[in-house]
């Protein structure tokens, strides 16, 4: 993986090699950090780099920080402005991944959230596929359960909680799968290791509700809107049983890093006819056009980096 060129760190843009923290940093020792994952997409025809839904991502980022009792003196708009400044210094002309991180920055021993200082850093780096086999992924049902919201807030991207995702992902990968589906303590389908889940049954698009320990995904929200408005598909948010997955006509996962990943096999059982279905294929094409600024009706989602007049964002 190619390292970032620069970083927003301690209030200014510096070479990435200068963005360093000590080994006693609280976030490093106790997982007391929150993060966001944002994508930037290169449109070669327009010679423009578009950040996808930055205001929405930074709004959720600040909500995650609030859950961890962080005091961040920024708004979604001010963080977007910093990001644009960083990306203009970086000068990327390719698809990128952006990682904002808010963290407890004191070098101190002691488990707590209070009486600590909070800092923000942002980096960006070239990035393509999160899952290489994204049109025909093979997943398993993980033996690990999703962390419950009363244990660690599921709707916050808390860094310490991703130890759960790491256990899920590694066990799946070492068993020969691309990823895994994870169940709640009640046995309902929650998420992938770090992605939201959708299935198609009877030509309806179904996804677990936000009360089943899922991250309130921005790509998830995007897919719901595209499915309803562009494809005229009914979208239902409700609990999903494990066996419904095996009987689904289509299955896919969504996330900022992963985008839309079609799943064609679960635990050696084919989904539908064992190939990516038409709804997933149409949504993947629509999504790619939307994130690259090719759909006028969704330009509100795109912020242009190399433009003096940034497009409106929501």
Kindly report the length of the chain: 314
Residue 309: band (very low, low, confident or very high) from pLDDT cuts 50, 70, 90: low
Strand partners, 35: 101
Whether 254 contacts 217, CB under 8 Å: yes
Same topology between domain 6-126 and domain 137-276: no
Question: Terminal CA-to-CA distance of the chain, rounded, Å?
Answer: 31
Distance separating alpha carbons of residues 292 and 52, to the nearest angstrom: 8
Q: In the predicted model, what is the mean pLDDT of residues 243-267? A: 97
Q: Which residues contact 213 (CB under 8 A, 6 or more apart)?
A: 146, 147, 148, 149, 154, 184, 190, 191
- Three-class DSSP category at 125: strand
Per-residue model confidence (pLDDT) at position 1: 81
Per-residue model confidence (pLDDT) at position 112: 97
pLDDT(283) > 90:
yes
Specify whether 234 is catalytic: no
CA-only gyration radius of the chain, Å: 19
CATH topology classification for 137-276: D-amino Acid Aminotransferase; Chain A, domain 2 (3.20.10)
Residue 293: band (very low, low, confident or very high) from pLDDT cuts 50, 70, 90: very high
Q: Which of 178, 202, 199 is nearest to 188 (CA)?
A: 199
Annotated catalytic residue: which of 157, 169, 229, 265? 157
pLDDT(313) > 60:
no
Residue 308: band (very low, low, confident or very high) from pLDDT cuts 50, 70, 90: confident
pLDDT(312) > 90:
no
CATH number of 6-126: 3.30.470.10
Whether 33 contacts 104, CB under 8 Å: yes
Give the residue extent of every domain in the chain.
6-126, 137-276
Per-residue model confidence (pLDDT) at position 310: 55
What share of the chain in percent tops pLDDT 90? Answer: 96
């Amino acid at each position: 993986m190619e390292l970032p060129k620069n970083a927003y760190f301690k209030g200014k843009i510096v070479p990435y090699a200068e963005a360093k923290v000590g080994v006693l940093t609280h976030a490093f020792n106790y997982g007391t950090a929150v993060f966001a994952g944002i994508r930037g997409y290169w449109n070669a025809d327009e010679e423009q780099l578009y950040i996808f839904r930055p205001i929405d991502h930074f709004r959720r980022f600040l909500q995650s920080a609030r859950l961890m009792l962080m005091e961040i003196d920024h708004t979604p708009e001010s963080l977007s402005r910093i990001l644009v400044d960083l990306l203009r210094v970086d000068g990327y002309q390719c698809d990128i991944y952006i990682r904002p991180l808010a963290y407890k920055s004191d070098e101190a021993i002691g488990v707590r959230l209070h009486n600590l200082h909070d800092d923000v850093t942002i980096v960006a780096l070239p990035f393509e596929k999160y899952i290489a086999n994204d049109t025909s992924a093979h997943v398993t049902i993980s033996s690990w359960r999703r962390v419950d919201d009363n244990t660690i807030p599921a709707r916050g991207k808390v860094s310490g909680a991703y130890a759960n995702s790491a256990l899920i992902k590694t066990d799946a990968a070492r068993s020969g799968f691309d990823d895994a589906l994870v169940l709640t303590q009640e046995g309902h389908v929650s998420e992938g290791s770090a992605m939201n889940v959708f299935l198609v049954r009877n030509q309806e698009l179904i996804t677990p509700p936000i009360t089943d320990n899922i991250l309130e995904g921005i790509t998830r929200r995007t897919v719901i809107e595209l499915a309803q408005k562009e494809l005229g598909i009914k979208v239902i948010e409700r609990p999903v049983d494990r066996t419904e997955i095996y009987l689904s006509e289509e299955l896919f996962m969504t996330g900022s890093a992963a985008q839309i990943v079609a799943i064609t096999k679960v635990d050696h059982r084919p989904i539908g006819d064992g190939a990516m279905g038409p709804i997933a294929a149409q949504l993947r094409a629509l999504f790619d056009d939307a994130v690259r600024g090719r759909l006028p009706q969704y330009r509100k989602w795109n912020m242009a980096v190399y433009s003096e007049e940034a497009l409106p964002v929501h």
